Amino acid sequence: MGVSTTRSNEPTVTDPVLIDFATEVGPDGPVAVVGGGTAGPVGGAIDPAARIVHAPVGIVAIQPDELTVTVRAGTTVAALQDALGEVGQFVVLPSLGPASTVGGALALGWSDISALGYGPVRDSVLRIRYVDAWGRIVSTGGPTVKNVSGFDLCRLLVGSLGTIGLMGEVILRTRPRPGVTRWFTGSADARETWRRISPLRPTTLLWNGDTVWARLDGHHEDVAAAATVLAELGVDREVAGPPERPPHRRSLAPSALWSVPSIWPGEWLAELGTGIVHAASPPATTPLSPEVLALNRTIKAHFDPTGRLAPGRRPW
Amino acid sequence: MNLGGSVNAMVLRRSRRASRDASGRHGPDHDSLVDDLVSVLGSDRVLTSTAALRLYGHDASTFRGDAPPAVCLPTTTDEVAAVVTAIRRHGRPFVARGSGTGLAGGAVPLGDAVVIATTRMDRVLSIDAEHRVAWVQPGVLNLDLTRQLRPLGFHFAPDPSSQQACTIGGNVANNSGGPHCLAYGVTSAHVLAADVVLPDGTVARLGGEAVEPSGYDLRGVFVGSEGTLGIATAVAVRLTPNPEGITTMLAVFDDLDAAAASVSAIIAAGIVPAALEMMEGGLASVVEDFCGAGYPRDAAAVLLVELDGPRHGVADDAERVQRTVLDGGARSVRTAADDAEREALWRGRKSAFGAVARILPDYYLHDTVVPRHRLVEVLAEVRAIAARHDLVVHNVFHAGDGNLHPLLLFDSREPGIMERVHAAGDEIVAASLAAGGVLSGEHGIGLEKRDHMAAMFSPVDLEHQDRLRSAFDPDNVCNPDKVLPSGSRCGDLSAVPDGVWV
């Protein structure tokens, strides 16, 4: 790991590591990147005919006073968090397992359970360098936290399951670690808990229909004050962390969560405020409108006309 | 670094293509176009007077577009869709526009583009405070929305300095920022969904109140696309709870570099203020004359630091900020004792652009971003560039984001001055990119920086941006000739239309 003080932002990428990755992807034939494989075949299984390639690995530069990190997409999230921990920072990426990679997490686009407090994973991404369907290196976004220079294709890549381009390197926004992090649980009225505690900016609120789990981050006195409010609501037992999450995932409007107990079969765990539901059984998905479906298909065709990237997989 | 032909300089040499007006714009098709628009909106909401067309021919930038054939003032999604369909039937392009406060020329109509102004779509459709979402029409003013939300305990976090006048639709188009986006993020982080009239006249909901809808993040690519992918007709915005605690401080420095270095020191100490603004001393003095906000008249620079959030954390961070800036060479730190003093400190910051009129009548406001740790050297470079072109420059900017706003002051009556202003601007952009920065932090690309795009992106990068754009707008009719330089399109390049100024 190197800590550099300057970052090249020249339009033409000369980084040999990325050039090697682009060469490996090449201009033709079905191809897909596999990360840690921790999330399973989301969006359909990859066509077995596809050549599997691996994104480069390694942390390129941590810049604590910029609150940014430049990292190869094949680096594990765990390794990145460890390295950032040494400078008192972290990135908002989901913890999907020890093998989970940065590129895999971004291609999946699933936000961490801390999204209520720290925002969705897509807002962590500043710049992506990826290899396109023609085997060329493309840059999108920029190295600074604030940037509105042209169309932001980072948005398109996050959650694209590798169907637009194959990520080689990303710049992510980092955050300072909070003073303390504490988890509490207890049986409580979820809606009342949400109303009372949400103005105090909890990081996570989970609910399984009976029990609520809350994560509080920040200054120890603020956390203690919020914990007092939680205790009044019945969320009064301090625990080490969140419960195990069921494997499947669905996104609902936060206002629709309250009816989940009556509509959801089997075990589930909902994130209050963000509307993400983790469920034991694969949930039915809502079909896209014809207009949105047409846009999705056209976009895929514009970026990968021959369908060689992650064949068999689609994000809709 | 090849910056190509400067768009700014070229705009001054307007091509003489006035004959088009006689042959095309006001020909027979013009009348039937206006008739069709009137049949959708009625005659009172289709403007065709010379004065109105001239007014809508420009925005708050220095760019002067062409007078459009008509200006439409729809009030509903269906009307916008019908207007777009009618315009397309006549083979015309169109430009959506909010209040026209943009500084990059993004809302300037070019050629025979029809203007669709969303200013009459100004209703807040619903507020669900419990679930922190409001649906608003695009013409709602940014500050009006926040004023409606405040009593409920919420606000809309993006707060561009034009927030009294700019619309939510404009904020979405430009992915607008403001001082408080340092901690809260720019508009994209606060938009859940948008109902959009696409360039073919169909209507689609991009995104949703569910934060991870299936498919590509169309909401994400739409926000910040500067009106090139369609027209937002309803926007679901995220409501931000008002903070429990808030502390505002003014740190005064006798040394500009020490002030700039303190910005990095604060962030490196693990503190992310809600806002971290910097103003050079000369300007602080002018601001003080202008509005009596309590700014020093003899400082080299001031930092305005605001911390917000749960109160113990704010108090603790305030102490650490105070220590950091005093260690970094601040001669004094003043903490606002109450809301009145806090408002006075912000009034000083927000009055800066008005106050500079006391120095010279005109200004050109730039917008680039540099890595925070390069602020000292880039500010020195900006001063050197201004000196080389014999221009007055003042800097007041979002230092915490590295978002520079050099303010070049001039008197437009002085012969040859605009060439110098634009030449200096081009050099400032180049210096920012050379320091590892980006073209724009919050004003967008529009026309102003379109021809600088190739300095930040490779031809393949730009081609990919156009792959996205053309997926939404294959016929290049939706705010054409903005953002991407001509030549970005793979294969058949769209020719620059006749009568375009740039």
ipTM field: 0.95
CA distances B83 to A87, B39, B115, Å, are 55, 10, 10
Section B123-141 average pLDDT: 98
- Supply B149's token pair: 């939300």
Does residue B311 surpass a pLDDT of 50?
yes
* Range 445-484 of B in CB contact (< 8 A) with A: 445, 449, 453-458, 460-462, 464-465, 467-472, 483-484
CA distances A3 to A61, B35, B435, Å, are 5, 64, 17
Higher pLDDT: B19 or B239? It is B239
Query: Under 8 Å CB-to-CB from B156, ≥6 apart: which residues?
Result: B142, B145, B146, B149, B168, B190, B237, B239, B240
Q: Which residue of B has its CA nearest to A315?
A: B215
Within chain B, what is the greatest distance between any pair of CA atoms?
A: 72
Q: pLDDT tens for residues A80-102?
A: 999 999 999 999 999 899 999 99
- A306 C-beta neighbours (distance < 10 Å), count: 12
pLDDT score at B28: 62
Spatial separation of the C-alpha atoms in residues B329 and B258, rounded to whole Å: 6
Residue labelled with tokens 């929305």: B145
Q: CA triplet B381, B324, B433: central angle to 5 degrees?
A: 25
Does residue A6 surpass a pLDDT of 70?
no
What are all long-range contacts of A19-23, with beta carbons under 8 Å and residues at least 24 apart?
A19/A137, A20/A56, A21/A53, A21/A55, A21/A56, A21/A131, A21/A166, A21/A168, A22/A131, A22/A135, A22/A136, A22/A137, A22/A168, A23/A135
Spatial separation of the C-alpha atoms in residues B96 and A87, rounded to whole Å: 46
Instruction: List strands edge to edge, sheet with B71-72.
Output: B46-47, B71-72, B114-117, B94-97
Residue labelled with tokens 């779509």: B121
Spatial separation of the C-alpha atoms in residues B38 and B43, rounded to whole Å: 5
Specify the DSSP class assigned to residue A196: H
Q: pLDDT tens for residues A39-82?
A: 777 888 999 999 999 999 999 999 999 999 999 999 999 999 99
**CB neighbour burial string for A76-88, b if at least 16 within 10 angstroms, e if fewer:** bbbbbeebbeebe
**CB neighbour burial string for B98-123, b if at least 16 within 10 angstroms, e if fewer:** bbbbbbbbbbbbbbbbbbbbbbbbbe
- Whether residue A144 and residue B211 make contact (CB cut-off 8 A), yes or no, is no
- Whether residue B436 and residue A143 make contact (CB cut-off 8 A), yes or no, is yes
Query: Under 8 Å CB-to-CB from B18, ≥6 apart: which residues?
Result: none
Spatial separation of the C-alpha atoms in residues B272 and B170, rounded to whole Å: 27
Chain B CB contacts of A273 below 8 Å: 132
- B76 C-beta neighbours (distance < 10 Å), count: 14
Among partner residues A152, A226, A273, which is closest to B221 by beta-carbon distance?
A152
* Range 111-150 of A in CB contact (< 8 A) with B: 111, 115, 119-120, 122-123, 132, 136-140, 142-150
Q: CA triplet B268, B270, B274: central angle to 5 degrees?
A: 105
Q: Are B70 and B34 in contact (CB under 8 A)?
A: yes
Does residue B142 surpass a pLDDT of 60?
yes
How far is the alpha carbon of A136 from chain B, nearest alpha carbon, in Å? 8
Q: pLDDT tens for residues A130-151?
A: 999 999 999 999 999 899 999 9
Spatial separation of the C-alpha atoms in residues B101 and B115, rounded to whole Å: 15
Does residue B16 surpass a pLDDT of 60?
no
CA B381 to chain centre: 24
Cβ burial, residue A74 (10 Å; 0-12/13-18/19+): buried
Does residue B67 surpass a pLDDT of 80?
yes
Q: What is the CA radius of gyration of chain A?
A: 21
Give the pLDDT band (50/70/90) at residue A9: low
Among partner residues B265, B444, B484, which is closest to A148 by beta-carbon distance?
B444
Section A232-237 average pLDDT: 98
- As a whole number, the mean pLDDT across chain B is 90
Choose among A18, A19, A88, A94: nearest CA to A58: A18
Choose among A292, A122, A263: nearest CA to B204: A292
Q: Are B331 and B233 in contact (CB under 8 A)?
A: no
Q: Is any Cβ of chain B less than 8 angstroms from the Cβ of A253?
A: yes
Q: Please provide the size of chain B in residues.
A: 502
Q: Which percentage of chain B shows pLDDT scores above 90?
A: 86
pLDDT score at A36: 82
Give the pLDDT band (50/70/90) at residue B351: confident
- As a whole number, the mean pLDDT across chain A is 93
Q: Are A277 and A243 in contact (CB under 8 A)?
A: no
Spatial separation of the C-alpha atoms in residues A251 and A278, rounded to whole Å: 9
CA neighbours closer than 13 Å in the CB half-sphere of residue B259: 31
Give the pLDDT band (50/70/90) at residue B494: very low
- Whether residue A67 and residue B460 make contact (CB cut-off 8 A), yes or no, is no
Spatial separation of the C-alpha atoms in residues B236 and B213, rounded to whole Å: 14
Choose among B189, B122, B165: nearest CA to B350: B165
Give the pLDDT band (50/70/90) at residue A112: very high
Its pTM stands at: 0.93
How far is the alpha carbon of B453 from chain A, nearest alpha carbon, in Å? 8
Does residue A29 surpass a pLDDT of 50?
yes
* Range 372-411 of B in CB contact (< 8 A) with A: 372-373, 398, 401-403
Does residue B272 surpass a pLDDT of 60?
yes
Spatial separation of the C-alpha atoms in residues B161 and A44, rounded to whole Å: 46
- Whether residue B437 and residue A144 make contact (CB cut-off 8 A), yes or no, is yes
pLDDT score at B17: 34
Give the pLDDT band (50/70/90) at residue B31: confident
Does residue B18 surpass a pLDDT of 80?
no
Choose among B401, B469, B468: nearest CA to B432: B401
* Range 182-221 of B in CB contact (< 8 A) with A: 185-186, 188-189, 198, 202-206, 208-218, 220-221
Query: Under 8 Å CB-to-CB from B82, ≥6 apart: which residues?
Result: B40, B201
* Range 223-252 of A in CB contact (< 8 A) with B: 225-226, 249, 251-252
pLDDT score at B12: 31
Spatial separation of the C-alpha atoms in residues A302 and A163, rounded to whole Å: 11
